[in-house]
Structure 1
């Protein structure tokens, strides 16, 4: 359920429908932001940390004419779908929303989220949405984590995620959704930073050097990278400490600094320096080897991404003569494994470092029919001189620019695969692609890349009408 489904017309409110009041409700749904959804006097109430089937008391903390936000006050009757969280700070940490929700129900909620978006935003009736592919592992799956740093009142170095709705850091020594091999580094590196006396960035005063601790691991190779995000390059005895980390952790292959001196919520800056070891790790994905830098975009759930890629391969049923364009190609994660099944791969990517890595990854795997072009998809796709048979789209969360949609409609590739991590923008763009009758939505396959959260990955398959 989404807020855009709710009317906000003003009307007289009953006495009970006031901020601060306690109301008894039964939770019957989960919103696309992860909150439980119930109703009081036919009005919708969003309550975090609740599970469908819970009967609760909630305190109204923000009241609108047709809906309100509440805070869980007491569970009167527990849902059969409620589970004990794996994390001791799950009720505070903003990293996960659904650790209290049974995994089977998480999959059901994500399926409903996708169907509702495609029906209500996309305008499709009975869309061909398949059940969500379950993640091979519901915990310990993340191959990358980037933690903000702070200091406690006692001066200890803290790393973790922000408390829900705040910038109050919840300190973690381990995280149940990240690869468990990263947990020792999370705990011990904080102590090393404290011992070195390195200053921690204060976002209010914009003072201090260390902003974030980044950890990345190759799920198959076990190779790890450690990255410190800093406001300047100067950290006393950094090279000595970096070598100590390499000696202590045999699978740690590189230590880097990333420079971000801007007063921004963006984690990484544009410049990265390798301090010790290698600047990259090597991972095995879909039978190929990929080189990844600390700032490389790569799906955080390696195994779930491979499962979705297998669906894409089977659905496309490539015959070996196709020209495949991979828009927003990154380092070639999705298109390089498909290269052996097509005549030619053309990757389009706006990030220069990603293009360089994609080219290197093609060379590393002896793939000679893949080329990668630097430039925005908005400009590069309409400028292509060769007609694609298949276009693979994997845009950012905000979806495709209208110029990309128009270029696809004008070019008329036989098949389009649209991969998205946000059902709402996926549905919006599918409506545009299918509205003129040129394309038919033949399948939507979701995959759970993000267990314990409300996020879901989708692959939508479109075919040219009359193909």
Structure 2
């Protein structure tokens, strides 16, 4: 993949872009194999499209009302426009110009980091497989919300693919993407992410993988392993919007999904109700606290933790629980290796690398653990 931004040293986020994609994939596979114990039956890696694979754009807003930039900030805090970034498919990038015009129309003064003045910090855009969009305006305060409401009909008319528009309030001056409060401005509250024939409902503050095609392959692989194990009871810890749990639901199987985000749980519950999955339930809570506080032990567990991994407490519980099988999906093979060392009775027997993040050193790996 060639990128004019990279060549001009404007953006260097794609750290592996100078390597042929086949080399990137080979080195990632070698990395994970070196980190994990031997004896794993490794399946062929799942490759991604080299460009245009992202379903989400996280655009920092800079510049001015007249000429806003959507992209990143340079070291001095000035906006760098990346609307032509090759990681975004044309269907997603096509909305950027409309949003840039809306910044001026609604008077959303870009937040200036050095002076700590202005209102609009970020614009977050998500595209569904059905080519529908969710847009979130991350603001410093509610000062501009009334203007966004006033001009929203114009935005919806110019971009009919928009289903969900919201404002996220992020008053603090800190290097984080969003705040805790969300104001949904449209009648529709969720974006439908159709994956493998299942409509996963995505609310504004819910997490979803950035590469839809590879995420679909990840869910298929995990489901195939779960079906081979055929557990009667299954926990999906760190379940998000329910991707693993909803795919693994089957007649006669009781599935419980646990996720700390109330919004994600509400999304998963909506899909479960639509599918009529009466034996699949979701609850909001901490995954480790749920496991340690439960009187029951399931036949199998799926874990999909953040980059830090599941940690010593949950790994210790899994080691001593008697659970026969664990499907561990990880976005950080180093924390996965640490967690595996903490539960030596659960040995990885199968594994697969899924390249969720081409042009970078990051990837997803899913492993099937079996009690020795």
TM-score, normalising length: structure 2: 0.93
Distance in 2, Cα, partners of 1:126 & 1:304:
25
Q: Partners in 2 of 1:228 and 1:343 — Cα distance?
A: 41
d(CA) in 1 for partners of 2:195, 2:76: 36
Alignment pair present for 1:238 and 2:145: no
> Contact 1:216–1:294 at 8 Å: present in 2 too?
no
**What residue ranges of structure 1 are gaps of 5+ in the alignment?**
1-83, 119-123
Q: Mean Cα displacement is larger for which, 385-394 or 165-174? A: 165-174
Aligned-residue RMSD, C-alpha: 2.1
CA contact (8 A) 1:143 1:216 kept: yes
1:161 partnered with 2:72: yes
Q: CA 1:398/1:446 → structure 2, altered by over 3 Å: closer, same or farther?
A: same
Paired residues of 1:289 and 1:365 also in contact (CA < 8 A): no
**1:145 aligned partner:** 57
Residue deviations 1:80-138 (CA, integer Å, cap 9, x gap): xxxx61444454314322222221111112112212332xxxxx346544442112x22
Cα shift at 1:192: 2.7
Q: Deviations over 1:59-80 (max 9, x none)?
A: xxxxxxxxxxxxxxxxxxxxxx
1:201 alignment partner, SS class:
coil
Larger Rg: 1
Helix, strand or coil for the counterpart of 1:132? Answer: coil
Q: Which runs of 5+ in 2 are unaligned?
A: none
Give, in angstroms, the shift of residue 278 of structure 1. Answer: 2.1
In structure 2, the residue matched to 1:132 is 45
Q: 1:158 to 1:293 in 2, by over 3 A?
A: same
Indicate conservation of the 8 Å contact 1:162/1:170, yes or no: yes
Kindly indicate whether the alpha-carbon contact (under 8 Å) linking 1:97 and 1:454 is maintained by their aligned counterparts in 2. Answer: yes
Q: Which residue matches 2:2?
A: 85
SS in 2 for 1:237: helix
Alignment check: 8 A CA contact 2:219 2:243 kept: no
Task: Give distance in 2, aligned partners of 1:116 and 1:318.
Answer: 27
1:349 Cα offset (Å):
1.2
Counterparts in 2 of 1:381 and 1:166: CA distance versus 1, 3 Å: farther
After superposition, the Cα gap between the structure-2 partners of 1:131 and 1:440, relative to the gap in structure 1 and judged at 3 Å, is same
Q: Once the two structures are superposed, what CA deviation does each residue of 1:191-232 show, in whole Å capped at 9, x if it has no partner?
A: 33134432111223332110001101111x211011100011
CA separation in 2, counterparts of 1:396 and 1:283? 21
Q: Tell me, yes or no, if structure 1 residue 458 matches structure 2 residue 365.
A: yes
> Which position in structure 1 is the counterpart of 2:269?
359
Moved over 6 A (4+): none
Tell me if structure 2 keeps the 8 A contact 1:417–1:461. Answer: yes
**Whole-Å separation in 1 of the counterparts to 2:182 and 2:160:** 23
Q: Say if 1:348 and 1:376, in contact at 8 Å, map to a contact too.
A: yes
* Cross-structure match for 1:95: 13
Matched residue SS, 2:318 = helix
Deviation at 1:162, TM superposition (A): 4.3
TM-score (structure 1 length as normaliser): 0.75
1:416 equivalent in alignment to 2:333: no
1:297, distance to aligned residue in structure 2 (A): 0.3
- Cα gap change, 1:397 to 1:147, in 2 (>3 Å): same
Number of aligned residue pairs: 370
2:253 is the alignment partner of 1:343: yes
Aligned counterpart for 1:272 among listed residues 165, 182, 193: 182
3-state secondary structure, aligned to 1:111: helix
